[in-house]
Amino acid sequence: MRKYSVAVVGATGAVGNEMIRILEERNFPVGELTLLASERSMGKELTFKGKTYPVDVLDENSFEGVEIGLFSAGGSISERFAPIAADAGCVVVDNTSAFRMDPDVPLVVPEVNPEDIGMYQTKGIIANPNCSTIQMVVALKPIHDMARIKRIVVSTYQAVSGTGKAAIEELVEQTKALLNLEEPEVTVYPHRIAFNCLPHIDVFLDNGYTKEEMKMVNETRKIMNDPSITVTATTVRVPVFYSHSESVNIETERKVTADEVREILSDAPGVTVVDNPDNCEYPLASDGAGKDDTFVGRIREDESIPNGINMWIVSDNIRKGAALNTIQIAEILIKEYLQ
């Protein structure tokens, strides 16, 4: 089988590390592997399939001969280096928000809109959606196809790993400090995250929403290819390490019962239904962490409107929300377009 020269940009980060692990786990046909990060990582080495690789400092010449670039080093790095990589002939799968709403860049969740990948040829870039959007559309697409979703009301409970390795460390340190009756240091978020909930993810915009909330609105419409879906979101950071949870309320055009939703989601790709309240069985962040699927439970009819459904959706934000979705995109890319 043909192998591909792959670069991981942001290889030392929470997402980049998981990408390397998933490339190995899924036996992606990696030939050359280039690991890139900032000057801070100079001299570091990482392991892939038992072999150690040096971490190189990202620069304009990093993409010579690279066929696939998996980017997760922040929006400004992607803005600057994704076009440079694409000009060098590398297809970029970008994990940041930099290109998601660009009409010439496909925004892809393989279970929902794999056919959009073909559009990558315009700019040489494919965007990976925001973690909170991905798990929501994986669960909602089959319902949309069955009953047409008109409106979505979502509140998220997002893990600190979504902010990167510094935030994971901050939750550990603050928890230790508070349990030792010491004053916790606050550096990553505007407030303490340990034993707290922060209704603030990414920056505030003029409309009073955060950028994270508006990502869920705009990305959902683009991925579902339906600008008529209305979405309103409240995104909240909670003191959980891995897996985002979401309370999702939908209003559909056609009436669907909770049983119908359970049935259609039982057969949906990438979805596992965990919905047995009598046994206290519902999706938990602690069960979702480290898994590939999106878990859906607490499925019930919204009794306040004629055609409404409530549900609880959980998925590992670093895997399906970022690294796994990116590599699933790359798998389709090589199978369908880069043979």
288 versus 321: smaller Cβ distance to ligand NAP: 321
Q: Which residues contact 166 (CB under 8 A, 6 or more apart)?
A: 187, 188
User: Rounded to the nearest 5 degrees, what angle is found at the Cα of 129, between the Cα atoms of 274 and 154?
Assistant: 50
| Residue 25: DSSP 8-state | H
DSSP 8-state class, residue 201: -
Closer residue to ligand NAP, CB minimum distance, 211 or 300: 211
Instruction: Pick the piece of the chain touching ligand 3JM (CB under 6 A) from 68-76, 116-124, 300-308, 331-339.
Output: 68-76
| Min CB(313)–ligand NAP separation in Å | 15
Question: Any residues with CB less than 8 A from the CB of 74 and at least 6 apart, and which?
Answer: 10, 96
Closer residue to ligand NAP, CB minimum distance, 26 or 165: 165
State in angstroms the smallest separation of the CB of 189 from ligand 3JM.
12
Instruction: Tell me how many degrees the CA angle 75-81-84 measures, rounded to the nearest 5.
Output: 145
Output phi, psi for 323, to 5 deg: -65, -45
User: Residues touching ligand 3JM: how many (CB under 6 A)?
Assistant: 8
> What's the burial of 87, exposed, middle or buried (CB within 10 Å: 0-12/13-18/19+)?
exposed
| Using rule CB under 6 A, residue 97 touches ligand 3JM | yes
Residue selected from 41, 62, 130, 272 as contacting ligand 3JM according to rule CB under 6 A: 130
Residue 309 gets the label, from left (phi > 0), alpha (psi -120 to 50) or beta, of: beta
Q: Could you say which residues in the range 196-235 bind ligand 3JM, by CB under 6 A?
A: 215
Residue pair 244/163 in contact (Cβ under 8 Å)? The answer is no
Backbone angles phi, psi at 152, to 5 degrees: -125, 130
Chain-centre distance for alpha carbon 214: 15
The sheet carrying 230-237 orders its strands as 230-237, 149-158, 244-252, 308-315, 294-301, 271-273
> Which one of 26-34, 47-55, 74-82, 303-311 is the stretch in contact with ligand 3JM (CB under 6 A)?
74-82
Q: For residues 262 and 175, give the distance between their C-alpha atoms in angstroms, rounded to a whole number.
A: 38
Q: Select from ligand 3JM, ligand NAP, none the partner in contact with residue 16, using the beta carbon and a kind-dependent cut-off of 5 to 8 Å.
A: ligand NAP
Rounded to a whole number of angstroms, the minimum distance from the CB of residue 240 to ligand 3JM is 16
156 contact, one of ligand NAP, ligand 3JM, none, CB 5-8 Å limit per kind: none
**Cβ partners under 8 Å of residue 50, min gap 6:** none
Q: Which among 131, 144, 191, 280 is annotated as catalytic?
A: 131
Nearest approach, Cβ of 165 to ligand 3JM (angstroms)? 12
- Catalytic status, residue 244: yes
Which member of 10, 106, 124, 162 binds ligand 3JM (CB under 6 A)?
162
Q: For residue 315, state whether it binds ligand 3JM (rule: CB under 6 A).
A: no
Q: How far apart are CA 233 and CA 210, in angstroms?
A: 9
State the minimum distance, in angstroms, from the CB of residue 77 to ligand 3JM. Answer: 7
Q: Does 166 bind ligand 3JM (CB under 6 A)?
A: no
- Distance (Å, rounded) from C-alpha 67 to C-alpha 314? 33
Q: Which of 24, 30, 74, 287 binds ligand 3JM (CB under 6 A)?
A: 74
Residues binding ligand NAP (CB under 6 A)? 10-16, 37-38, 40-41, 58, 72-75, 77, 95-96, 128, 130-131, 162, 164-166, 321-322
Q: Least distance from C-beta 131 to ligand 3JM, angstroms?
A: 6
131 is catalytic: yes
Measured from the CB atom, the residue of 38 and 234 that comes closer to ligand NAP is 38
Residues of this chain that interact with ligand 3JM (CB under 6 A) are 74-76, 96-97, 130, 162, 215
Instruction: List the catalytic residues.
Output: 131, 244
